[in-house]
Amino acid sequence: MVILVHSLFVEVYDKPTGVPDYWKSKAIRIYDPLEAVTEEQEKAVVQYLYSEGFIEDRRTDCEIIIGEDCNG
């Protein structure tokens, strides 16, 4: 699922690695085509996802997809 959070496209997805069904089974991608996302913005996105129930733990893996990788 891709949603807009703090003007950034964010994807929360299930890892395909067979991890047991708990908080480590999800991961986050933040799409940053301008390569401008700061650590504070990343933390704010994760906090929002946690507060709204999209993720179960703030330690959920988070990856920032930058530049041209956002297109593909």
Neighbours of 47 (CB within 10 A): 13
Collect all residues with Cβ–Cβ distance below 8 Å to 21 and sequence separation of at least 6.
none
Mind listing the pLDDT tens digit for each residue in 11-55? 999 887 666 666 678 899 999 999 999 999 999 999 999 999 999
Distance, CA of 51 to CA of 53 (rounded, Å): 6
pLDDT at 19: 61
The DSSP bridge pattern shows strands 8-14 and 2-5 to be antiparallel
b/e sequence 7-17, b meaning 16+ C-beta within 10 Å? ebebebeeeee
